[in-house]
Amino acid sequence: MSWKIKTINITNFKFFHAAFPLDVDSNNLLIYGENGSGKSSIYWALYTLFQSRLKPDAASVEKYFDPNEGENLRNKYSADGDAAKVEVIFEDQDNPAAADKPYEISLDGVNTQNPADSFLAFTVTSSDFLNYKMLSKLTDKDNSVENDVTDLFIKEIYPFAVFDNDYVDLNGNHSGVLLAETWHNYIFEALGQLKHQTGKRATHFDKNDIKYGRFKNLIRDFRNELKNYLDDISQRATIKLNNEFGVKDVVIRLETDAAYQFDLQRPDSLRYRDHTLHPLHIRMKAELVNAQLAEGRTDIIHLRTFFNEAKLTCIGLAVRLAVADKKYVAGGNLASVLCLDDMLVSLDMCYRVPVAKAMLSYASNYQLCVFTHDRSLYNMMRSTIKELGQSDDNWRYYEFYRPNPATEGLVEPQPNKREVKTTKDEIKKHLATGDYPAAGNYLRKYAEEMIKGILPLNLTYGIRNGEVKSLMLNDLYLKTKSTQADGFCKLYDINPNIMPNISKYLQRLMNPLSHDDKDVPIFRQELDDALAEVEKYEPMRAGKYVMVNRGDAGVKVFRMELAYMGATETVDFVTTEQWDYIVFPAPTGKKYKDCEIKITVSSSGHFVVDSKMRVKKLYEALKNRVTAGTAAPVLTPFDQSITEVASGTLLNAL
């Protein structure tokens, strides 16, 4: 089963007045919206429906649609009697015959709270909603106070945080409950069950009662489980921050009090206690790691007074994504949805690209819904989706624009939505309508997108009139066939004949059509044939996997090791450029780029540290070293001789 959101229906909720359907069709969503266009209302519609599962009763959800309630979220132009609702329909991609699962919240009914409905229960548990305002709650603290994030954890994270062990109740029974929120709530319920002394000391707890001791164990165990949970989140977030976001000098620390304080000795009297359960605090701190510091690192207690807005965003996002990683449930009878609203608005380009890649990587596990009002970020995200080899067929792109400013205050604002089609969709649309010149234009653009998605970045640029410029389609195509020393076919060790052949279409169809050359005969069949040939690039582009991105070149360390007849040679190296492989259609299969590397360690001293060479040349050199140049038997294959040092993962598993 692979459940995804099929449709979102919104009526009289926030920006949307008339019934507004948004087709998702089980795809990921990337939505650009100007301020005041309704973009965030879609995010909040999804959030409100998912959160309704956690509300105590239907009334606490229906109030959002009741015109007589001060907390209602109804559209301001709706009349009191107008229906209002949010509906989300899920479908099973793997089984089209399976019945859809519709969920609705409205004044007339809430069907999200059925205790027997495990689908939505697991879906809400495995899904997450992140926006910039939520992130700021992690770090937006005055310098005069500690960075206390207790309230945020209780409200946003406890409902989904699963501990390693359950609690023992006041009757001495194991509860079987691992959920932090349930355990936390039981603590306060149990506090009310504690026995008091009699007479003048009626306000005092009876310390001799067995439940008093069990209660102290209960809060002790909660604190210990919470500490383990926070330690795990801290470690996950730090790894994400350092390795994926490119913030390499920061260590995140989520800490709690040394103990859950309860019934403390009063400072003004040795005979009396305070009969109070004191709050257990969670504080977020950081360590700055730098060799120039006195001890190599220093504590950062007040994050906002030290880090700029970009790093604060990275820190907050790393923590929240670490929480999402920990709560994710794979497969089964559920849908995993991750919604991100304006997460990267404060990031400059040095962080935007790696963070965007890290966020988009979640599309492999989640149905990803990304919302932004930043046009440049939206365009960058679309480019990054292609760069990561994700198919446009798995995404829906929408753009929302604010109503005409000239009519503001005069007419009711209406949604102004435009679905952005893929380039191939545009080709097919123009072919269907007989607009062959337009189809040819988009065909050229489509071919450029496909080829740029396959070629290494440096092969997509050239020098023209002393300036570095993007290559045109004809030059890009020639690069895909090149067998020169730095040519594409040479770098990946492939036969150029397996590459699509679009040469006969370049002049006859693509270039003349771009100039609307009416003297060139245009035939539908030729365009269809050209499209079919360009489509052959798609599986190659989808099969491209980046093992070392450009930002990690020179950082990620690999080890190549070969052994034969007692002779062993080991060399550590880093890449000087992006390193990737492409899985070509059978029978060619996986082909690794012969990237340039720099030697960092040589076990024999034979290879000069800091010297550079191609990685496959190093492999051949090691083969010659361990076999002394004799006719060698089959040694360890190339992709099984190399290990990423940090993770211990073989190259063929990356």
Are 166 and 289 part of one and the same domain? yes
Are 74 and 218 part of one and the same domain? no
Which of 404, 420, 436 is where one domain is finished? 420
**Pairwise CA distance, residues 508 & 530, whole Å:** 10
DSSP per-residue string spanning 562-593: EEETTEEEEEEEEESS-EEEEEETTTTEEEE-
Domains in the chain: how many in total?
4
pTM (predicted TM-score): 0.74
Q: Is residue 329 part of a domain?
A: no
Q: Using omega within 30 degrees of 0 as the cis cutoff, is the peptide bond preceding 159 cis?
A: no
Is the per-residue pLDDT at 272 higher than 60?
yes
Q: At what angle do helices 524-534 and 423-432 cross, to 10 degrees?
A: 160
Any idea what DSSP says for residue 157? I
Is the per-residue pLDDT at 521 higher than 70?
no
Q: Is residue 318 part of a domain?
A: no
Are 164 and 300 part of one and the same domain? yes
Is the per-residue pLDDT at 229 higher than 80?
yes
**Amino acid residing at 555:** V
List the structure tokens of 519.
């003297």
Q: What is the mean predicted confidence (pLDDT) over 578-586?
A: 94
Confidence bin at 515 (pLDDT 50/70/90): very low
Q: What is the mean predicted confidence (pLDDT) over 164-177?
A: 96
Q: Is residue 323 part of a domain?
A: no
Are 293 and 229 part of one and the same domain? yes
Q: What is the mean predicted confidence (pLDDT) over 285-309?
A: 80
Which of 420, 450, 471 is where one domain is finished? 420
Give residue 454's pLDDT: 93
Is the per-residue pLDDT at 292 higher than 90?
no
Q: Is residue 390 part of a domain?
A: yes
Any idea what DSSP says for residue 648? T
Are 397 and 345 part of one and the same domain? yes
User: 90 has which bridge partners?
Assistant: 5, 101
Is the per-residue pLDDT at 381 higher than 60?
yes
Are 296 and 413 part of one and the same domain? no
**Pairwise CA distance, residues 581 & 387, whole Å:** 13
**Phi and psi for 348 in degrees, rounded to 5?**
-85, 175
Question: What CATH number is attached to the domain comprising 343?
Answer: 3.40.50.300
Are 156 and 299 part of one and the same domain? yes
List the structure tokens of 231.
């330690």
Helix (H, G, I), strand (E, B) or coil at 259: coil
Give residue 300's pLDDT: 85
Are 145 and 268 part of one and the same domain? yes
List the structure tokens of 604.
């024999």
Confidence bin at 509 (pLDDT 50/70/90): low
Lowest mean pLDDT among 264-273, 415-424, 532-541: 264-273
Long-range contacts of 169-173 (CB under 8 A, 24+ apart): 169/214, 169/218, 170/211, 170/214, 170/215, 170/218, 172/210, 172/214
**Amino acid residing at 341:** D
**Amino acid residing at 518:** K
Are 552 and 502 part of one and the same domain? no
Is the per-residue pLDDT at 252 higher than 70?
yes
Confidence bin at 144 (pLDDT 50/70/90): low
Residue 203 sits in which domain range?
136-306
Whether residue 391 contacts residue 542, with contact meaning beta carbons closer than 8 Å, is answered with yes
Are 144 and 269 part of one and the same domain? yes
Nearest to 187 by CA among 160, 225, 156, 152: 225
List the structure tokens of 482.
């090149």
Q: Is residue 453 part of a domain?
A: yes
Which of 420, 442, 470 is where one domain is finished? 420
Any idea what DSSP says for residue 391? -
* 193-221 burial: b if 16+ Cβ within 10 Å, else e: ebeeeeeeeeeebeeeeebbebbeebbeb
Helix (H, G, I), strand (E, B) or coil at 417: strand
Any idea what DSSP says for residue 359? H
Are 34 and 87 part of one and the same domain? yes
Are 23 and 49 part of one and the same domain? yes
Helix (H, G, I), strand (E, B) or coil at 543: coil
Is the per-residue pLDDT at 116 higher than 50?
yes
Q: Is residue 376 part of a domain?
A: yes
Q: What is the mean predicted confidence (pLDDT) over 501-505?
A: 91
**Phi and psi for 146 in degrees, rounded to 5?**
-75, 160
Q: Is residue 197 part of a domain?
A: yes
**Pairwise CA distance, residues 654 & 647, whole Å:** 10
The better pLDDT of the pair 167, 432 is held by: 167
Q: Is residue 61 part of a domain?
A: yes
Nearest to 343 by CA among 22, 638, 18, 40: 40
The better pLDDT of the pair 227, 646 is held by: 227
